[in-house]
Structure 1
Amino acid sequence: MPTIYGILFAISSGHFINDILQAVVPAMFPIIEKSLQLSYTQIGWIAFALNMTSSLLQPVFGYYADVRSRPYLLPLGMLSSLIGLIGFALSNNFIWIVCSVLFIGFGSAIFHPEGSRVAYMAAGNKRGLAQSIYQVGGNSGQSLAPIITAFIFVPFGQKGALWFTIVALLGVFILYNVSTWYSSQLKKKKQQINVGKLSKTNAPTSIHSKIKWAMGIVVFLVFARSWYIAGISNYYQFYLIEDYGLSIKGAQLYIFIFMIAGVLGTFFGGPLADRFGKRNIIFLSMVGAAPLTVLLPFLPLAFVIPLFFCIGFILSSSFSVTVVYAQELLPSKIGMVSGLTVGLAFGMGAVGSVLFGGLADLYSIRFVMILCSLLPLVGLITFLLPKDEKISEYNNMVN
């Protein structure tokens, strides 16, 4: 089956727009912290509301997408994010901020499982590359958060978020066209099943115990990685401001370096996994980044950018790889698996945001950064995962 690059780039663009709308929220943190006089704990709760809504609901939407796909939920999800964005821009207190980000999170929860299914359908035989193209759109959107803060929110304030309504409307248009293709593919598949060219399902009658164990490890690995990224994306800017004396605008450059390195790591990780194996790339990503993350809180400012770039690149190289590995563990449940790895596990990072905010208020931002630095060491348990070639063997054993 050929790889359909036009659809991959279109769904990647939709992912870019979805995640840039999400990125508006943490990008606004230094602004609303001062204008609304919020504590670090309240900042953590805003991040919690956004991430838990967008994440906890992803496996739910993914499960129902596996049972019966609804392609046109993609543009409807973008409309939900648009409503939340307008509310966020106009909110003048903590409660309304939280209510608004719930709409943004809900829209993201709708988008991600269906988006992953589109990428899987358009991948052909290049699943690692296809997932990288899809995920790089999202990571690129997230990486723009510091630029948004520096060049839009610092000069224009909270209402500068209204500029992104134009971007959201563009996203609705793109995703509507993707949904049209997606719907046509589902109809073709149904017709092929009806005439007997395809079996109705190739799902195993049960799931091998080692597959269940491996899936649990994958979710835990993503959980640890998401806690580290949550600590960096939500609080490292405050660490730079408080411990190094940088301005809000100056601190955004460092976060941008980390994010853009993550975009590059995400893109190259997929093709590398296609060649060298998914489990190997997952292991090297986590364990390879660990020594650098441990050093980061203790470095002079001059060394932060190069080390930050290396951490972002290495740690994110397994981003798309983890999703593909999990999809191959449970090939009959693509939507649910995508919701678990991109959604639920990342939602646990929202718990980390609240915990880190409370610890920062109780102790210090420096304490939180040191605590975060140890999380990539969890990658050592990757050795417990089955090798790539063993996965199909386990699935075949229960057919």
Structure 2
Amino acid sequence: MNRARLGLLTGTHAVNDLYQGLLPALLPFIALERGYSYTAVSGLMLAAMGLSSVIQPLFGLYVDRASRPWMVPLGFVTAAIGLVLVGMSPDYWVSWAAAVLCGLGIAAYHPPATVAARVAGGSSQKAMSVFSVGGTIGASFAPLLATAAVGNGQLHHSWLLLLPAVVMLVVWTLWTRRDVQNTRSAMASPAHTLKTTQQTNDWRAFFLLCAVIVGWSIPYVTVLSMLSLYVTRELSGSAFMGAAALTTLTAAGAVGTLLGGWMGDRWGRIPAIRLGYLLALPAMGGLAMASSAEMAWACTLALGVCMFLPFAPQVTLAQDYLPRNQATASGITLGLAMSIGGMVAPLFGMLSDAYGLRYTVSTVLCVLCAACLLAWCMRERAYSPQRLAAQM
């Protein structure tokens, strides 16, 4: 394990996903200052998260062909520029196009950075967990940073949000100049190590897993995009309380990711996945029935942990369902399947405009119930020692 390189990549992941979290954190301020409806706000989420997830598998195919280390800094810098333009532009459609640019940057970053993190971490699963949680930690700081930079009608100060990307770009440039050869080897695509001939693909089980992930994606993206507005408008909480709830959701997700990986190793992936969905139901129900901002915050804490318990087990299970096409499995589960939540976000925005945010939260609870039921239809697939040897 190259700890220095892994630390650098974890830092870039934190910065990149900071911008992924900054968009939903900016939405309450944009809606308040510009008078956007819930539908318009959800449209910005669609532009960034939905299109980003759809295009991410294509970037993965591009990276698989050759080593492209320059895509790591290009990704998080592009995301930063797009995010700043979202906050600075008073025109909705310019902001929408900027949100697309932000999403493209986020999508371009993940394939090369994940490959590099795997090489830097060697055979350690803990290394990949640290890299993944680095992104979650970055996203968890987004609401507080957004409040500090653009709160109280200061959207014209959105340019301040570019600073983390500039600092990380300087760090990346200095490090790569010092260690050019090692950087190239760290970014080398290990696509040839992912191929296996020992097992067949189980497409039926894989598509069932995709359906479960869609049932996860819709509630998560909806809550992520509406949580601050729900706390401030429906529950009369302060702007700080709304930002704190959003921070809690993402930070609790980091805890849930680590805990889910530990549970998967100890008791198996299917039990970890089922338990996560089962425990998320009362947490989501409590959020829907919350009578105060404090109660919503407590339910958000539980929801973040529970919804992310299945995250790591689902990714590895997808790869084992498609042992001959593991890159495809990762691209679909982390890209296309999760993008459904962003695509349907405007529909739930329209629902919120018509009936209110509390009704929307109750509706996505029903979607989460369906995902929980489907999770009970899934089955484990043994992890092949031969495949493990092929991947090292």
Q: Same fold (TM over 0.5)?
A: yes
Write the distance in 2 (CA, Å) between the matches of 1:249 and 1:217: 40
Is the Cα contact below 8 Å between 2:116 and 2:187 reproduced in 1?
A: no
Partner of 2:248: 257
Write the distance in 1 (CA, Å) between the matches of 2:190 and 2:307: 37
CA, structure 1 residues 264+395, in 2 after alignment: closer, same or farther (shift >3 Å)? closer
Write the distance in 2 (CA, Å) between the matches of 1:216 and 1:189: 26
Deviation at 1:64, TM superposition (A): 2.7
5 Å-filtered alignment, 1:13-24, equals: 13-24=11-22
* Aligned mate of 2:259, from 262, 268, 283: 268
Letter in 1 for 2:372: G
Deviation at 1:59, TM superposition (A): 0.8
> Does structure 1 residue 165 correspond to structure 2 residue 169?
no
CA, structure 1 residues 222+114, in 2 after alignment: closer, same or farther (shift >3 Å)? farther
Is the Cα contact below 8 Å between 2:22 and 2:143 reproduced in 1?
A: no
Partner of 2:237: 246
5 Å-filtered alignment, 1:103-252, equals: 103-127=101-125, 129-155=126-152, 157-174=154-171, 177=175, 180=180, 181-185=182-186, 203-204=195-196, 208-210=200-202, 212-252=203-243
> Does structure 1 residue 338 correspond to structure 2 residue 335?
no
Write the distance in 1 (CA, Å) between the matches of 2:170 and 2:322: 32
> Does structure 1 residue 25 correspond to structure 2 residue 20?
no
Deviation at 1:269, TM superposition (A): 2.3
* Aligned mate of 2:77, from 54, 72, 79: 79
Partner of 1:284: 275
* Aligned mate of 2:57, from 56, 59, 66: 59
> Does structure 1 residue 315 correspond to structure 2 residue 307?
yes
- Residue aligned with 2:237, SS: coil
Unaligned runs of 5+ in 2: none
Deviation at 1:204, TM superposition (A): 4.0
CA deviation vs aligned residue, 1:278-315 (integer Å, no higher than 9, x gap): 23222221122123212321133243333321111121
CA deviation vs aligned residue, 1:2-55 (integer Å, no higher than 9, x gap): x44333332221111011112222111111112222111111111100012321
CA, structure 1 residues 35+77, in 2 after alignment: closer, same or farther (shift >3 Å)? same
- Residue aligned with 1:92, SS: coil
CA, structure 1 residues 4+318, in 2 after alignment: closer, same or farther (shift >3 Å)? farther
CA, structure 1 residues 134+331, in 2 after alignment: closer, same or farther (shift >3 Å)? farther
Write the distance in 2 (CA, Å) between the matches of 1:155 and 1:293: 30
CA deviation vs aligned residue, 1:352-378 (integer Å, no higher than 9, x gap): 311110111122211101012223321
Is the Cα contact below 8 Å between 1:326 and 1:341 reproduced in 2?
A: yes
CA deviation vs aligned residue, 1:240-299 (integer Å, no higher than 9, x gap): 223222232332222222222112112332233233322322222112212321232113
CA, structure 1 residues 158+207, in 2 after alignment: closer, same or farther (shift >3 Å)? farther
Write the distance in 2 (CA, Å) between the matches of 1:188 and 1:375: 37
Write the distance in 1 (CA, Å) between the matches of 2:277 and 2:287: 15
Q: Which has the higher contact order (CA 8 A, sep 6+)?
A: 1
CA deviation vs aligned residue, 1:302-354 (integer Å, no higher than 9, x gap): 43333321111121122233223323444565544333222222211112311
* Higher deviation after alignment, 253-262 or 301-310: 301-310
Letter in 1 for 2:19: L
Deviation at 1:391, TM superposition (A): 6.3
Write the distance in 1 (CA, Å) between the matches of 2:374 and 2:189: 42
Deviation at 1:202, TM superposition (A): 6.3
Write the distance in 2 (CA, Å) between the matches of 1:262 and 1:32: 25
Aligned length: 383
Report % sequence identity: 24
CA, structure 1 residues 78+164, in 2 after alignment: closer, same or farther (shift >3 Å)? same
CA, structure 1 residues 13+375, in 2 after alignment: closer, same or farther (shift >3 Å)? farther
Write the distance in 1 (CA, Å) between the matches of 2:262 and 2:160: 36
Letter in 1 for 2:242: A
Partner of 1:194: none
- Residue aligned with 1:71, SS: coil
TM-score normalised by structure 1 residue count: 0.86
Is the Cα contact below 8 Å between 2:44 and 2:96 reproduced in 1?
A: yes
Write the distance in 2 (CA, Å) between the matches of 1:187 and 1:228: 36
Is the Cα contact below 8 Å between 1:14 and 1:174 reproduced in 2?
A: no
CA, structure 1 residues 317+95, in 2 after alignment: closer, same or farther (shift >3 Å)? same
CA, structure 1 residues 394+324, in 2 after alignment: closer, same or farther (shift >3 Å)? closer
Unaligned runs of 5+ in 1: 191-199
RMSD: 2.9
Write the distance in 2 (CA, Å) between the matches of 1:264 and 1:35: 34
Deviation at 1:215, TM superposition (A): 2.3
Partner of 2:289: 298
CA, structure 1 residues 341+13, in 2 after alignment: closer, same or farther (shift >3 Å)? farther
* Higher deviation after alignment, 39-48 or 6-15: 6-15
